Chain A
Amino acid sequence: MADQTIICRCEDITREKLLQVIAEGCHTIDEIKRATRAGMGLCQGRNCRKLIAEELSRIYHIPVEEVLQPTFRAPVQAVSMGMLADAYKEGAGE
């Protein structure tokens, strides 16, 4: 049976999908994010980041300390495009 266990709840990414993109050559949390959107949802990776790091550690036989962490950027949580547009218009978002 394919592994339908959910790893990233926000974007509905299963372990099967995760293993597939790793087999296709994704080596890091950031690469997996770009290929699947895992970590790009509402919680911004708070739930799945650790689980993905554990999978990478297991597959590549490296300690989890050595799994490359993703780049952290603002905003830390989802914001509305309208709010950003207003800030830009007012010159607060340059």
Chain B
Amino acid sequence: MRETEILVIGGGPAGIRAAITAAELGAEVLLCERDGWLGGQLIKQTGKFFGREYAGQRGFEICADLLAKLHNTAKIDIWLDCPVLGIYEDGVVSCQKKDRLEKIKPQRMIIATGAAENFLAFAGNDLPGVISAGAAETLMHMSGVVPAQRALMVGAGNIGLTVSYQMIQSGVEVAAVIEAAPQIGGYLVHASKLARTGVPIKTGYTIQEAYGEGKVEGARIMRLDETWRPIPGSEEDIACDAICLAVGLNPLAELCWQAGCQMELIRELSGHVPLTDENLQTTIEGIYVAGDICGPEEATTAMAEGKLAGANAAASLGYDTEQAQAARLAALAELGELRAGPMSARIKTGLDKLREKGAAKHA
């Protein structure tokens, strides 16, 4: 059995930042990553970031800096291709390392497993060519494969808008972006950029059906009324060979459920999330969380949360130095600044609701 002071589960921006922060404070860290590479979703993002710290930098560039820092930090052991499979009552964690089942006994855990893309129920949704926006991004930016000739994007949030634009850059014709809500969900700067290329963004539309012989040959879309019901007779066919779904993310929290963390369904946080305190500690002592598992947000907030969880986990082990306190305050300030804009209103409402539930439990 492998022992370690801190086990970080997930090598995306939150997990990497947590590992670096904890190790810099003196803690011994083991980082387990399911895939064969580190960087999570950040490594395939080609768009430029907003915000002060990373302004103008592209996602994969931020990722490269982060990885360089990770590899230059002593006291971090990295296990790649190593999915964590379970967390047991006695605090033992099992994982798959190569073809072997390994057990880990950590003193603290930071779960940073991210989020998964939502699936949508519509006729023909199992036809080849129905893919998630994230899959389109992976094909283009990690495999160098053009995902389609003519695609329909379902969802006009930031992911739907930016992946549509990236598809155009990759030579894909984007037939349209449809969105069930009456307004565009993502930043208008992304929407405008897309609209300037001539792609129609149709709000108040849903996908009724994917059709085709053995693969997607088109999509039937329909208009929705104010009560989100499809309007009969409003059917419209769009010829395409791919339908990309960008209909939200949900936190990947199976390990928190297994560990017995108290979970709450908060709609603003996109699903069941673990109840946490201001240190990002769950209701199970010694188990911390960071990143999209706390409610899908941005890579920037994920990194700040990773820093916060890493600093707190290390401090709880006795590495409670002035440096730890400074890292904690810096992370909190970063989060405050990142969430100051109007686009963060929803996540802030969600976090308030979560904290209220926590307060009710402890009253």
Q: Bound pair: A and B?
A: yes
- How many Å lie between the Cα of A76 and that of B255 in the bound state? 8
A69 touches B125 (CB 8 A): no
B96 touches A74 (CB 8 A): no
The SS class assigned to the A binding surface is loop
Q: Is A83 an interface residue (CB 8 A)?
A: yes
Which of A69, A72, A83 contacts B101, CB < 8 Å? A83
- How many Å lie between the Cα of A92 and that of B85 in the bound state? 14
Q: Is B119 an interface residue (CB 8 A)?
A: yes
Contact string, A1-41, partner B, CB cutoff 8 A, digits 1/0? Answer: 00111110100100100000000000000000000000000
The count of residues in chain A whose C-beta lies closer than 8 Å to any C-beta of chain B is 32
Residues of chain B within 8 A (CB-CB) of A44 are 254
Say yes or no: A5-B86 contact (C-beta < 8 A), given A72-B258, A74-B94: no
Residues of chain A within 8 A (CB-CB) of B254 are 44, 72, 76
Say yes or no: A75-B125 contact (C-beta < 8 A), given A44-B254, A50-B250, A51-B119: no
CB proximity of B250 to chain A, nearest CB, Å: 6
Q: Is B83 an interface residue (CB 8 A)?
A: yes
Contact string, B313-353, partner A, CB cutoff 8 A, digits 1/0? Answer: 00000000000000000000000000000000000000000
A79 touches B96 (CB 8 A): yes
In the complex formed, the residue of B with least CB distance to A4 is B123
Which of B100, B250, B258 contacts A86, CB < 8 Å? B100
Which residues of B are interface residues toward A (Cβ below 8 A)?
Answer: 83-88, 94, 96, 99-103, 116, 118-119, 121-123, 125-126, 250, 252, 254-255, 257-258, 263, 265, 271-272
Offer 7 A-B interface pairs, CB within 8 angstroms, sorted by A: A6-B121, A48-B119, A50-B119, A50-B250, A74-B85, A92-B102, A92-B103
Given A72-B257, A74-B88, A74-B258, output 4 extra A-B contacts at Cβ < 8 Å: A6-B126, A50-B271, A75-B85, A76-B85
Q: Which 7 A-B pairs have the closest CB atoms?
A: A74-B86, A75-B85, A72-B257, A87-B101, A47-B119, A6-B126, A65-B265
